[in-house]
Structure 1
């Protein structure tokens, strides 16, 4: 255990710790010592906020306050004590790291460790106790406004990337707060939608990254989400928190609300909530009076119930213990270090993570650019100059320096080429439901100017896509459709017609329609890349860095290819309970049955009268069914043999790779991978496991292992994967346990979920 240091030694000797107390290394002993000296009022006061982003400690005993900060892509600028306004500090600029979609696209756990360590150093320097992240909800719909903050559609990939992030972050003595627990896969109706999902899908998919964060990553806190599950808000949900998180998984940290996610004193007391933040706000804009904190659900109402004897001591002490444990692990830990901000190491890390996460989706030989002296490069698109660290909701950042794509391209090519710029389109600014309406004449003017300039350029580099406006990639609201906004499809089509040497760079945290793809010679999937966005993009475009990113989610051809949308409004965004079709009504307050859901899905949901719109325009109590059950993402596309535009795990390179014939010896699979091209590169070798025959419906295959391997031209390496029993199991929701059935399994080795290079068989006997 770490040694614990009390920063303040109170002078009230009869009620405070003595030297013998503070010499003990054991955190649990320290927790119990503190607890024995606390009054009821002090215990209760630990459980609710004192400002917008802080909660009190126990001043009398020298227990410091808790200071939280939004993340997870960097440390947010300082916010006012009691409202959402920026405090206006001049020393709170940070290094903006790439969004977590980019981190997931690296398929490199070492990058996650580096990311967590670097952002943790900045949080520590800013004296933050808890960084609110990482986000590990899964990609269920491409309309989700917060997908850019998450790690894709596969729970194994998300788990493998979040665990080292957490460990790197907490190595600085700063707690992560893994979010949003649980089933928060959309922003529409997020404050009240009641999610219905089978236990099998819950355990196999949506809880897997949280389980890994707790049991492998050792997360010190968890954030409860806004939505409901089984008619109860997730932030004080008896089944999610008491039964699963704390009892089944043994989580010993603190459960913290999302801001404004608490709704009920009794549920907050008895259903496992430990720290209440932001009540009486909507989590974004609504303000509360400065004197309102005692009115929180875990404030004076909780204290009064305790005084009346309505709350057992075991519950009072459990909440206090968890908060004390959090503080002892962070603010009161000796040898915690001081952290650092904007160091050269942080900037280099942000650039490297961005380089490794950028995904090359198409290339007909145009990339890397072959420039010559005197060439003209035209950069088009608002995202080439727009700050993409601003906006987006709580993940907004104030970087010390944000290198735009235009700046990065000028710095890389400007010594040999003329680099010009045309905006091409404009989006305006919008936040939290207010969207700027721009005149059509402005769109026409900007488009026509860009197209005319493109005719005279040697190369056109288009940098567009989504942004962090409301109804784009932004907290508090989902996208409205699958298309690129602001007339970009027409602009891209006309640019491609004007200049065949056009490179398309699309910035987004989501998939989108591509009606122009067939005519595009090169397509780069960028993400929100942070401080070093322009440098990292120029590194890829120039060929200084060989692209190696792989997609963490599937790109379908159209929105209704995704099962959440194929189902109609009952699958997204939810319908009034009286509009629920059969067989999806289920039993109130009980998990849904996986077998029934899958049976309906396999039959094409025939005979089910799906609602196309939320019932009666209701704004409360919508119910949503995860009717695709365990067949999320590529699992659905595999099972129903549905073609996708770009599959999960896909990404091109400037070199080529060949795979040898895989072999299996016992439980160990071996495959050789060779670089058959002319430049050094990295390949992500993916191992999927499939169960040929099972007593339940299972996906065709599921990702169970991956390895990113660096290869010089002509080099060959052997990649191995040893099968574990856990890799073969499914969650049996009739027995409530994980089961591996004897029989034949297949191990698929590929460079994406669709590009399978070899298959070997494996017989399992339990």
Structure 2
């Protein structure tokens, strides 16, 4: 029936040989596609399928069909580059708002903020004339060493899926396309171009594909970027089983598959393996580098030759061209695409709000032996001299990191944010350590003598202060949080551990503030009363942090990843190098389903800070849950009361476990419990609200490797309601 409708509509709209339905924005998109295809030459169709510059692919100028303008995201629009080089174009009107990292967004556990983020950042993309945002990313954080984890949404597929769906919906509502990345298993930067990932079918489906499937089926994402790595020994950018088999046929996805830049390796595989647009190919191993042009791409002249010789069916070309035209009509030729705006106050407000809710308060204890109030929030006026220590207090963390580097109109540093709230209090600053510059692919060596001098200066100033705020952590240097290189150690770099420990010996009133997209070791944790983790907060970093530290904003962030006491505690580590980073460019996910908190619980290893953890300046009381059935759904409700003295937000988390697996003493084949829903409630002091969760068979399904499909097991299920994966307040039961 759908095909008949399209043909009928085409017949009605395409009246006369010169009618141009594809230019009629009110015509159905599928009709516009068929009309445009009927007018295009083979060469024009092929031209749609590969880059024509670093960040554009061709349209059809003869027919008035626009090119696709792409740019890196998702934390903001990358600065303009030269047409055919990676050099900055040095425009004067391409400065933007840097939004918080996606780990920070995930740490908000707030779907409404995901909508706000998507709406705000897409307005900036639209204003800059961009059709396609290269992001967001939902690869799973299985290792704390992943240099690109700050661009993703944590270790849990359900959380990532729930946060990415409203983000994509908001972006695409504005007529800007999302190019979801990196599909799939791009979970490390080490050997990212060549490593083959070996993973069980069940873990592939339940963990690694899950957030992508949610984005396809619920958000209807318009574009997806293939990943560099291999699966089943075939590159993911043209992997027939992955792209055609799962994505396009099984999931019935109608979007456009874009290669990662330089991720295409073979013309016939690109032709038949599901790739639609090839970007960033620098050479084919045959054509001399100085002669290699866009016509030499795998999906360019070589592909056109195969089509004309009949070695690749015309239907393959038409299907690819249709998908690209669909993306063009949804974005650049979409009459509902917004004009957008750049660097508006609304965008800075959104940036600050997301940052505030993503900051996680990890520790907040009294100072000294007396049972006095906790160190945070700070009343800055009670201190005569405050010392801020650390390079990240003044460094712009919107720079570096690889392709997500941003050119901002303004950045508020943590030091500036604190100074704005100091009300005349004397604030000293000491850099404390030096990390060098932000470099993409090599390490800028730092002189040890310089760092010793900086540490000595900080120690000397610490003796004058009655409050120390240390601002450090990771940065976006190579082999910190940066594309194309993983971290080399679980420890903080540049001598920070030693510096923090020495500062804590001098002054007990010390707050440690860290930035970064990954967990890290904390050998000094027992010496400091207060610890705040910030991820990367974007342009409003200083204001967001200062609001939290001074209590103007009550922290409500929750960890989207597990912080282990020791690197060896992570589930994959015990399996050796085969599990990470791989041997002979083969990596084996031997921990299987047991990624993150699933593995910690299976191995009975207590983390330093568990998944879902985060403190508040107030306290919450959980009531007794009730479970009722409504049709095919079960509804769980639980009352949450703010029994503290200030307004705050609590994320109520629902985990579900099959009782026989949770208590089994035999080989464990299913996690004891898994996140299945969450609700974030805002409560005034004394106020009670109800958290409501809906559970159905799909919530409980697992992948059956024998039947190669989903199934829901019968049995008794436990419903765990808690404030983190380790802090379960109440338990209810459900029988299937």
Bin for the TM-score computed over the shorter chain: over 0.9
CA distance in 2, matches of 1:186, 1:296: 27
1:499 paired residue among 503, 507, 522: 507
CA distance in 2, matches of 1:396, 1:749: 39
CA distance in 2, matches of 1:308, 1:493: 71
CA distance in 2, matches of 1:336, 1:20: 16
Matches for 1:187-586 after TM superposition, within 5 Å: 187-280=189-282, 289=290, 292-364=293-365, 365-372=374-381, 375-413=384-422, 415-576=423-584
In structure 2, the CA distance between the partners of 1:626 and 1:68, relative to structure 1 (3 Å rule), is same
**Partner secondary structure for residue 356 of structure 1:** helix
In structure 2, the CA distance between the partners of 1:664 and 1:178, relative to structure 1 (3 Å rule), is same
Moved more, 685-694 or 296-305: 685-694
CA distance in 2, matches of 1:21, 1:240: 34
1:90: how far off? 0.5
CA distance in 2, matches of 1:468, 1:23: 43
In structure 2, the CA distance between the partners of 1:18 and 1:727, relative to structure 1 (3 Å rule), is closer
1:382: how far off? 0.2
1:529: how far off? 0.5
CA distance in 2, matches of 1:680, 1:439: 47
CA distance in 2, matches of 1:133, 1:17: 36
CA distance in 1, matches of 2:25, 2:643: 61
CA distance in 2, matches of 1:509, 1:190: 19
1:439: how far off? 2.2
In structure 2, the CA distance between the partners of 1:277 and 1:541, relative to structure 1 (3 Å rule), is same
Aligned partners of 1:16 and 1:37 also within 8 Å = no
In structure 2, the CA distance between the partners of 1:742 and 1:762, relative to structure 1 (3 Å rule), is same
What per-residue deviation string (whole Å, max 9, x for no partner) do you get for residues 537-560 of structure 1?
A: 000000000000000000011112
1:212: how far off? 0.7
1:692 paired residue among 641, 659, 668: 659
1:371: how far off? 2.6
**Partner secondary structure for residue 569 of structure 1:** coil
CA distance in 2, matches of 1:683, 1:14: 62
CA distance in 2, matches of 1:97, 1:486: 27
Aligned to 1:615: none
What per-residue deviation string (whole Å, max 9, x for no partner) do you get for residues 163-217 of structure 1?
A: 0000111111110000000000000000000000011000000000100111111
What per-residue deviation string (whole Å, max 9, x for no partner) do you get for residues 35-77 of structure 1?
A: 1111111111100000000011011111001010000000001
In structure 2, the CA distance between the partners of 1:374 and 1:568, relative to structure 1 (3 Å rule), is closer
In structure 2, the CA distance between the partners of 1:421 and 1:321, relative to structure 1 (3 Å rule), is same
In structure 2, the CA distance between the partners of 1:156 and 1:320, relative to structure 1 (3 Å rule), is same
Pair 1:670-2:637 in alignment: yes
**Partner secondary structure for residue 563 of structure 1:** coil
CA distance in 2, matches of 1:474, 1:19: 46
Aligned partners of 1:375 and 1:416 also within 8 Å = no
Aligned partners of 1:669 and 1:720 also within 8 Å = yes
Aligned to 1:182: 184
Aligned to 2:587: 624
Moved more, 364-373 or 288-297: 288-297
CA distance in 2, matches of 1:19, 1:187: 45
2:621 paired residue among 642, 653, 658: 658
**Partner secondary structure for residue 362 of structure 1:** strand
**Partner secondary structure for residue 361 of structure 2:** strand
Pair 1:638-2:601 in alignment: yes
In structure 2, the CA distance between the partners of 1:623 and 1:291, relative to structure 1 (3 Å rule), is closer
In structure 2, the CA distance between the partners of 1:108 and 1:762, relative to structure 1 (3 Å rule), is same
Aligned to 1:143: 145
1:21: how far off? 6.9
Aligned partners of 2:401 and 2:438 also within 8 Å = no
**Partner secondary structure for residue 195 of structure 1:** strand
1:229: how far off? 0.4
CA distance in 1, matches of 2:289, 2:475: 30
Aligned partners of 1:373 and 1:416 also within 8 Å = no
Output the TM-score relative to the length of structure 1: 0.90
Aligned to 1:617: none
In structure 2, the CA distance between the partners of 1:686 and 1:516, relative to structure 1 (3 Å rule), is same
1:641: how far off? 1.5
CA distance in 1, matches of 2:712, 2:548: 44
1:290: how far off? 7.6
RMSD over aligned CA atoms reads 1.7
1:433: how far off? 3.4
Pair 1:50-2:17 in alignment: no
Unaligned runs of 5+ in 2: 3-14, 366-373, 662-666
Aligned to 1:125: 127
In structure 2, the CA distance between the partners of 1:516 and 1:400, relative to structure 1 (3 Å rule), is same
CA distance in 2, matches of 1:653, 1:178: 33
Aligned partners of 1:379 and 1:419 also within 8 Å = yes
Aligned partners of 1:377 and 1:418 also within 8 Å = yes
Aligned partners of 2:703 and 2:711 also within 8 Å = yes
1:429: how far off? 1.3
CA distance in 1, matches of 2:503, 2:251: 54
Output the TM-score relative to the length of structure 2: 0.94
In structure 2, the CA distance between the partners of 1:330 and 1:678, relative to structure 1 (3 Å rule), is same
Unaligned runs of 5+ in 1: 2-12, 577-621
CA distance in 1, matches of 2:355, 2:17: 52
In structure 2, the CA distance between the partners of 1:337 and 1:433, relative to structure 1 (3 Å rule), is closer
Matches for 1:12-161 after TM superposition, within 5 Å: 17-18=19-20, 22=24, 24-161=26-163
In structure 2, the CA distance between the partners of 1:467 and 1:539, relative to structure 1 (3 Å rule), is same
Aligned partners of 1:16 and 1:61 also within 8 Å = no
1:725 paired residue among 683, 686, 697: 697
CA distance in 1, matches of 2:194, 2:612: 33
Flag as ranges the 4+ runs of structure 1 deviating above 3 A. 13-21, 287-291
CA distance in 1, matches of 2:510, 2:25: 67
CA distance in 1, matches of 2:579, 2:553: 41
CA distance in 1, matches of 2:25, 2:243: 34
Moved more, 428-437 or 698-707: 428-437
CA distance in 1, matches of 2:94, 2:338: 19
Pair 1:682-2:649 in alignment: yes
In structure 2, the CA distance between the partners of 1:374 and 1:229, relative to structure 1 (3 Å rule), is closer
1:222: how far off? 0.2
CA distance in 2, matches of 1:16, 1:536: 57
CA distance in 2, matches of 1:368, 1:288: 59
Aligned partners of 1:259 and 1:281 also within 8 Å = no
